[in-house]
Amino acid sequence: MTHVLVTGGAGFIGSHVTAALAAAGCKVSILDSGHPAAHQGPLPSEVADSPVTVGDVRDREAVARALAGVDVVVHQAAMVGMGVDLDDLPEYVGNNDLGTAVLLAEMHRAGVARLVLASSMVVYGEGAYECGHHGPQRPMPRSVAHLAAGEFDPACAVCGETLRPALVSEDAPLEPRSVYAATKLAQEHLAAAWARQSGGSVVALRYHNVYGPGMPRDTPYSGVAAIFRSALEAGRAPRVFEDGGQRRDFVHVSDVARANVAAVEADPGGMVAYNVASGRPATVGEMAAALAGAMGGPQPVTTGEFRLGDVRHVVASPQRAADELGFRAEIDITAGMIDFARAALR
């Protein structure tokens, strides 16, 4: 029986991953700090009949104890989201990057050679784009002046034509454009260096926009789906930033959990990254409208507001995960939002 340690296993995604691994026949242990950005109360003693140890991945002794007898680590523990402001920067770097460094060092000391890393689509920055006249393009970061003028879509640097979003593959250039994104890319770099020096194996799962039961609500670190649902529950229309046309790939957390099971069962050697996405992108406005319809609430309003760290379009190719992990997302956004409208939140 494979013994898996899930860091952050009592959190939103981690609890679903824990349950899926246990259902697949793994022995699962959990190390979770109960960070207030993800938890507003005490941690449970168990998740899916798997024991929860309260401990921080930055604590070498706690990590060393948690690694006893472990075959694979699934590293979900992280600060997520855009956060409040730059005052959050030390917390992001400490939890995400220092925590990953401590975990990797202790894995090497313990002889644990397999890691599944929860990464993110934010490592890509802006996604892939094409100009109808000049082919593939890599746009510069959007300026405050253009965003304030309502010019949200990147333009071709040659002719000025609005660029079309294209599929982002795992081989796309990595260009993080927020603090959170920078820490996720640093996690990947640390894991790749660890794999080279130790001979270990890393599967980096680049999650796209994850939603589903157990999302944290009413915090600055919540995902956009949870923010919209909280508004609808209060009888308010969801407020959609920009013009609502920004494209994302929304993937249900149960599909993300299945991707982690597939990654635990794989052992590619070295480091390999995979998009974890539905392959059926939607705009943020379409997602908000689907959720409002499922909840019978007011339709969303587009506000023109923007956040400088946001990107316009990230549309993923799920092909490598399908070919090499045998993973394909099963839940489309319409069915997923109907489920999410009734689901308990954290």
- The total number of residues shown for the chain amounts to 346
Residue 138 forms part of a structural domain? no
Q: Which pTM value belongs to this model?
A: 0.93
Please name which of 105, 122, 113, 121 lies closest in space to residue 60, comparing C-alpha atoms: 105
pLDDT tens figures, 16-69: 999 999 999 999 999 999 888 778 788 999 999 999 999 999 999 999 999 999
pLDDT-derived band of residue 224, with 50, 70 and 90 as boundaries?
confident
pLDDT-derived band of residue 218, with 50, 70 and 90 as boundaries?
low
pLDDT-derived band of residue 254, with 50, 70 and 90 as boundaries?
very high
Q: What is the mean pLDDT of the segment spanning 246-258?
A: 95
pLDDT tens figures, 236-248: 999 999 999 999 9
pLDDT tens figures, 79-107: 887 766 788 899 999 999 999 999 999 99
Q: What is the pLDDT of residue 216?
A: 81
Count how many domains the chain has: 1
Say how far apart CA 207 and CA 314 lie, in whole Å: 12
Q: What is the mean pLDDT of the segment spanning 332-336?
A: 90
Q: What is the pLDDT of residue 219?
A: 65
Choice between 63 and 345, residue whose per-residue pLDDT is larger: 63
Mean pLDDT of the chain: 93
Choice between 221 and 141, residue whose per-residue pLDDT is larger: 141
Residue 150 forms part of a structural domain? no
Residue 221 forms part of a structural domain? yes
Contacts of 171 (CB under 8 A, 6+ apart): none
Residue 255 forms part of a structural domain? yes
pLDDT-derived band of residue 323, with 50, 70 and 90 as boundaries?
very high
Residue 53 forms part of a structural domain? yes
Neighbours of 200 (CB within 10 A): 20
Residue 144 forms part of a structural domain? no
Residue 191 forms part of a structural domain? yes
Distances in Å between the Cα of 66 and the Cα atoms of 9, 55, 112, 115 are 12, 9, 12, 14
Residue 136 forms part of a structural domain? no
Percent over 90 (pLDDT), the chain: 79
Q: The domain spanning residue 231 has which CATH number?
A: 3.40.50.720
* 269, 74, 222, 173 alpha-carbon torsion, rounded to 10°: -10
Strand, helix or coil for residue 269:
coil
Domain hosting 76: range is: 3-127+168-342
Q: What are the backbone dihedrals phi and psi of residue 317, each rounded to the nearest 5 degrees, phi first?
A: -95, 120
Percent over 70 (pLDDT), the chain: 98
